[in-house]
Amino acid sequence: MIIKSIESLSDGLNILWNDNSSSCFPWLWLRDHSESQVDLHPDTKQRQINVFSNPPNNSVATVLLDRISKNILIKWEDESESTLSFDLLQSTSEPNLPQSNAMNSSSCWSDPSEIKIFPEITYQGFMSDGGIKIWLNHIQRVGFALVIETPETSDATKELMERMAYIRNSIFGGFSVWDNKLENPDDTAFTSLAIEPHTDGTYVHDAPGLQTLHCINRDSIGGENQLIDGLAIAEKMRHENPDAFNILCNVNIPGRYIKPGTYLEAHRPLFRVNNNGDVIQVSFNNHDRAPFRLKNDQMVKFYAAYKIFHNLANDSSRQFEFMLNPGKVLTFDNWRLLHARSSLTGYRQLCGGYHNREDFESKLRSV
Ligand SMILES: [Fe+2]
């Protein structure tokens, strides 16, 4: 949109756009959002102006539309000046609340055959200029990406992960190398047992955003991995089982992780939605669900809703199944996809770790 004209009104600055729509920005908002070097630190982009501790005189002296610098310049009666870029005014032309960008442009898939462009990139491609953007777009689009032909070492895997961002620390450490023969495993993930579809970290307030796994040694049978698009299940339930969908948006389900000296617990609905009703996070781990009780009639409805989700997640036709072979590094969106694993016999060694959600979103905004 291009600014056609501006008009000073008593309650704000009215901007008429070239599509004949208009936006009236309150004077206090304009002062608070000034991008001048005095009001917004040019390096840190942190707000320097404080419209609260020293209430400014918001009487306007002059308003200038500068089409060359693409700014609106406001002079106030107290001699101070505000600068607002056309970009900022355009991006806030309608009342809006910041939204997460990680699930923008998502293509839900209810069946792996619906994934039109397979989200795969070679290690060489990933490590070259522009590679990470392709990789991020794969994850944003379908919830996961595979990097193939990766050196079969933990060092190469760690380097790959650090290209995205620093690796998150957790109860399991940061970047980790483990095998399925641990004597006292902390989690079923470190065993040979089958694991049902789940998301990680239902027992932490800020579940890991991305998870990366690389099997660097494999002498085993079984152990196939499955990925399921939780967002696709959410949208299916929203349309076909709206009451169940609403229950899963509203009941805070506790997750827990217990070992000697540690008792983690967090509460989240299975579907977390934003103010627009968009699903922004799926959290489901039947293994880690902690005891809780609702009123009996609500508990019955909750179990019925949870069962619908559980059965859809466990429907093999919704699952993308593959083998994590050495050289193939899997990264998936743990706020969207569920992952599962078949049982195995034999030996395998894996490595990997987590990234925070905000770092994933940051990278999406900045590459
Ligand atoms: Fe897991």
Dist. CA 359–CA 88, nearest whole Å: 23
Dist. CA 286–CA 218, nearest whole Å: 28
Going by their DSSP bridges, the two strands 71-76 and 225-229 should be labelled as unpaired
Dist. CA 203–CA 258, nearest whole Å: 10
The pLDDT of 229-239, averaged and rounded, is 98
The CA 162 to ligand 1 mean position distance, Å, reads 20
Q: What is the amino acid identity at position 163?
A: R
User: pLDDT tens across 136-189, in order?
Assistant: 999 999 999 999 999 999 999 999 999 999 999 999 999 999 988 767 777 777
The CA 200 to ligand 1 mean position distance, Å, reads 5
Residue 138 CA, chain-centre distance (Å), reads 13
The CA 161 to ligand 1 mean position distance, Å, reads 17
Domains and CATH numbers, the chain: 3-91 (3.30.2020.30), 99-367 (3.60.130.10)
- How far apart, in Å, are the Cα atoms of 150 and each of 51, 216, 231, 329? 53, 10, 29, 7
20: left (phi over 0), alpha (psi -120 to 50) or beta: left
- List phi, psi (to 5°) of 205: -65, -30
With a pLDDT cut of 90, the percent of the chain lying above it is 87
For the stretch 100-132, what's the b/e string if a residue is b when 16 or more beta carbons lie within 10 angstroms of its beta carbon?
bebbeebebbbebeebeeebebebebbbeeebb
The CA 198 to ligand 1 mean position distance, Å, reads 6
For the stretch 221-254, what's the b/e string if a residue is b when 16 or more beta carbons lie within 10 angstroms of its beta carbon?
eebebbbbbbbbbbbbbbeebeebbbbbbebebe
- How far apart, in Å, are the Cα atoms of 148 and each of 41, 122, 151, 200, 360? 43, 5, 9, 24, 20
Indicate the DSSP class of residue 126. Answer: H
Residue 324 CB neighbour total at 10 angstroms: 21
The three-state secondary structure class of 336 is coil
The pLDDT of 286-290, averaged and rounded, is 97
User: pLDDT tens across 304-353, in order?
Assistant: 999 999 999 999 999 999 999 999 999 999 999 999 999 999 999 999 99
User: pLDDT tens across 35-67, in order?
Assistant: 999 999 999 999 999 999 776 677 899 999 999
The CA 339 to ligand 1 mean position distance, Å, reads 6
The CA 190 to ligand 1 mean position distance, Å, reads 10
The CA 323 to ligand 1 mean position distance, Å, reads 15
26: closest CA among 7, 9, 12?
12
* Angle, alpha carbons 343-346-347 (nearest 5°): 105
